[in-house]
Structure 1
């Protein structure tokens, strides 16, 4: 005779979902000062000539607040660099109404149900999946706070309490100053640095050569190629960079060019890193199967916790390393990324967006830090961080 399951209600039924567009001014735009021919438009955006991509001049993201019937709150954050009100509207009008009364302990099931809502209207990516990611993080946070455990415990347990960090970007106006900044980070204990091809002054090879001379032979150097090359161009360039002991080459050609990605991966001796712009395991799977990369870079502000773990665990089955991407935010999704990353195998680094992470720590609680070349996993229940009241001074309508 099969024993019956005891009836039970929700752990802490969701009673409200609120969203906030955050826009924090900054003195220097993301990736560094404006180049010749770049300007800020009426909406506060600029287009980088180096990769034809639009960026905000402020730190923009979406905060998501999910409240349970007990009064406990879970916090999430989504990618909101461009047109963040689109993500807000999707959450407010589409996602939030259908999860009221749901049990946050069903975070994975809720994620799958919300994905199903729009799968026949273009499943894979864009603003809808960004909205789902922020909400997913908040639900996981509420679940973990409800049982008074750190999120990492609910995700399977921490393999590590500290995660090595690589310095992402050297946002100075000249090559000499970028080299000086690189040396400053090495002096602080960092052992890995990535530079951006989109803002290199003239020759990317010269940029790499100067940085290698500046930091010495033992620091790992990476390049973000910002999707600006054809596969053939990327292969030629990466081969020229390899004598300087390039650790990885990131995003060499257009993200939809899977054949080009495979061609690059097969033609170079450097590990190829891809994936910051993909939202689901369904986008990663064919590239795993094609051996398109040696390193994946999931961005939890695009994936949420649920998909991040699907992607990271699939990477393990293909013997691919995970080095998570970190975008613009106040630190809520950064904390979620560290919790999820701590559960995975084959994680040599996590991205450290120093020009964003350090300045925005003032707006969140908790002990999350990046010092001496490594992140410290935030302690306490849930994410271990939450926004301070001061951040709501930067809410925009």
Structure 2
């Protein structure tokens, strides 16, 4: 080891949105003093702004790596975990060993049951930054450290249609179809006339060849989910995402074993163990690893298990500044099972200014950044927005 980690810094990056994520607030969804609103359709909190947590690692010789995780709610929790605990166990370590460091940090809290939530989110940000440095030190993009490119261009599906009516949502989808995008996903909590009416309208607008998925946001019982899925099936449902509460594995087993439609899950999982607990009982067609919750090490363990089992990988990616999206694309390109990747147009397009690098999404395809490590870093404008945690 010639260039160990010497410094760990944690920041939030916050920026306003004209319209909250998933669209304008409905009646009864007024934001509180913290800027949080609760979507009535899934009883889940969202901020009215975009915010993520960024981690900056610097080695003794000045190499810098960036990581990112979620900061939608209570970002101070992630910051405290890193500053009070994880940072001191990262300083002095060799960044060329990200997987070893990941496992060591994960085990720190083993007897306390911290196998998910904020703890692994914090670990994910550090892991991404370590891989970024490892790639820079090797002079290679992260995808090459992971075994090389298996996917030259990755299908991008348009996710979220933040308009107030299904007519407007269909118009928005059509505008992206005209730009060369042919895969879409709508969010059932804001499909005010119900998911069956939503997919019927989208199918009519987009035509028979478009791929259309439904994000059901973990908000149904097994019977309710099955009824909705079978109702959407005649309109060419690409996949049904998160049909039941994530903790109810029995319900997921019932739904997945009782329908021929494709079931997609895994956004909220933190480790490969979350997948192993489900695959023997549930008929999972698609796993959706979310880089911001997992880090590259855990993401790849889930992806490689999916490859072994013949399960498709279509990663999830939502609110962030672009660092964990770049990591997700590097990892996705290294997996032969990757069949697509989420494209959050209402976040990616405004956030182009926050990154230095040539990561791109156009005409329905993602393109990785060139260069060593992640191939991206925060722009001067992004650096000016950072607030220390």
Please report the TM-score for the alignment, with normalisation by the length of structure 2: 0.98
SS at match of 2:356: coil
Q: For residue 319 of structure 1, report the CA deviation from its aligned partner.
A: 1.1
Q: For residue 93 of structure 1, report the CA deviation from its aligned partner.
A: 1.1
In the other structure, the counterpart of 1:171 is: 162
Q: For residue 148 of structure 1, report the CA deviation from its aligned partner.
A: 1.2
Aligned: 1:344 with 2:327:
no
SS at match of 2:299: helix
Asked if the contact 2:12/2:54 (under 8 Å) is kept, the reply is yes
Aligned: 1:305 with 2:302:
no
Aligned: 1:89 with 2:57:
no
Pick from 138, 142, 159 the counterpart of residue 147 of structure 1: 138
- Count of equivalent residues: 388
1:1-397 alignment, distance < 5 Å: 10-396=1-387
Asked if the contact 1:249/1:271 (under 8 Å) is kept, the reply is yes
Inter-partner Cα distance in structure 1 for 2:306 and 2:145: 20
Inter-partner Cα distance in structure 1 for 2:286 and 2:193: 28
Asked if the contact 2:306/2:312 (under 8 Å) is kept, the reply is yes
| Segments of 4+ moved more than 3 angstroms | none
The runs of 5 or more residues in structure 1 that have no matched partner are 1-9
Inter-partner Cα distance in structure 1 for 2:132 and 2:94: 12
Q: For residue 291 of structure 1, report the CA deviation from its aligned partner.
A: 3.0
In the other structure, the counterpart of 1:6 is: none
Asked if the contact 2:303/2:337 (under 8 Å) is kept, the reply is no
Q: For residue 11 of structure 1, report the CA deviation from its aligned partner.
A: 4.3
Root-mean-square deviation (Å)? 1.0
Inter-partner Cα distance in structure 2 for 1:192 and 1:42: 37
Please report the TM-score for the alignment, with normalisation by the length of structure 1: 0.96
Inter-partner Cα distance in structure 2 for 1:47 and 1:391: 28
Inter-partner Cα distance in structure 2 for 1:248 and 1:161: 24
The runs of 5 or more residues in structure 2 that have no matched partner are none
